[in-house]
Amino acid sequence: MENIASPRVGIARERLVVVGLVAALVVVGLLSLTAGDYDMAPARVAELVGSYVFWWVQTVPARISALFGGGPAPVFTTSRDSVVLFVIRIPRIVLAALSGAALAASGAAYQGMFRNPMVSPDILGVSNGAALGAAVTILLGFSSTGVHVVSFLMGLLAVALVMTIARALGKGSSSVVVIILAGVVMSSLFSALVSLCKYVADPDDTLPAITYWLMGSFSRSGTYQNIGFLAAVVVIAGGLLMAIRWRINALSFGDDEAKAMGVGVKGTRLVLILASTLLTSATVSFCGVVGWIGLIVPHMARLVVGPNYRILLPVSMLGGAVFTMVVDDVARIIVPGEMPAGVLTALIGAPLFIYLLIRGRKEWL
Q: What is the pLDDT of residues 250-260, one digit of tens each?
A: 888 887 888 88
More confident residue, 172 or 140: 140
Residue 5 resides in a domain: no
pLDDT at 150: 95
Average the pLDDT over 265-283 and give the result: 92
Residue 140 resides in a domain: yes
Asked whether the CA dihedral 122, 125, 128, 131 is positive or negative, the reply is: negative
pLDDT at 357: 72
Statement: residue 166 has pLDDT above 90: no
Q: Model-level pTM?
A: 0.89
The boundaries of the domain holding residue 141 are: 16-364
pLDDT at 258: 83
Residue 2 resides in a domain: no
Residue 57 resides in a domain: yes
More confident residue, 171 or 66: 66
- Provide long-range contacts, Cβ within 8 A and 24+ apart, for 30-37: 31/329, 32/89, 32/93, 32/325, 32/328, 32/329, 33/85, 33/89, 33/90, 33/93, 35/329, 35/332, 35/333, 36/84, 36/89, 36/332, 36/333, 37/332, 37/336, 37/337
Local structure of 134: helix, strand or coil: helix
- Residue 201 to residue 149: CA distance in whole angstroms: 21
**CATH number, domain containing residue 299:** 1.10.3470.10
Statement: residue 308 has pLDDT above 70: yes
Nearest-CA neighbor of 300 among 282, 321, 280? 321
* Distant-in-sequence, close-in-space partners of 12: CB < 8 Å, separation ≥ 6: none
Residue 92 resides in a domain: yes
Statement: residue 153 has pLDDT above 50: yes
Q: Give me the percent of the chain exceeding a pLDDT of 70.
A: 93
> What is 298-310 written as a DSSP string?
HHHHHHHH-S-HH
Residue 6 resides in a domain: no
Phi, psi of 76 (to 5 degrees): -70, 130
Residue 124 resides in a domain: yes
- Residue 250 to residue 12: CA distance in whole angstroms: 24
Residue 200 resides in a domain: yes
Distances (CA, A) of 291 to 283, 341, 346: 11, 9, 7
Statement: residue 2 has pLDDT above 60: no
More confident residue, 182 or 8: 182
- Report CA Rg, the chain: 22
- The domain tally of the chain equals 1
pLDDT tier for residue 1 given thresholds of 50, 70 and 90: very low
Average the pLDDT over 275-290 and give the result: 93
- Measured in whole angstroms, how far is the alpha carbon of residue 77 from the centre of its chain? 34
